Amino acid sequence: MKNSTIIQMLEETCSMLKHVDAYVSCAHLVPSYNAILVAARTNHPDDPFLSALPPLPIVNKGEGGCGSAELRVLFAQMRIALESLQNESERTTATTSG
């Protein structure tokens, strides 16, 4: 999956999560977060920041799980990291081709 697609998914998710009360469980989004994290790490296997982001445990319905505030932070951190990596890649490409 391209970084631009991952970033778009992260932006859309963050946009929706900002309207959700901070303490509402968003356990249903954990599989998406984990899948996006895997895709980001696949694109950037040596990035220390992405390697440090934790995959989240999947919990059964009614067991609580990750709140919207925590997920908002994790999605935003991943988006910023990928944007930074994408900008670095674009600068490197411009330098080597110019």
Distance of CA 6 to the CA centre of its chain: 8
pLDDT of residue 34: 96
Q: Please, what are the averages of pLDDT over each run of 10 residues along the chain (98 residues)?
A: 94 92 87 96 95 89 78 94 84 62
Domain boundaries, the chain: 3-97
Q: Report how far apart the first and last C-alpha atoms of the chain are (Å, whole number).
A: 27
pLDDT of residue 96: 66
Q: How far apart are CA 96 and CA 49, in angstroms?
A: 25
pLDDT of residue 22: 84
Q: How far apart are CA 62 and CA 36, in angstroms?
A: 24
- Token digits of residue 64: 């609580």
Q: pTM of the prediction?
A: 0.83
- Token digits of residue 84: 């930074």
Measuring CA to CA, which residue among 59, 89, 78 is closest to residue 17? 78
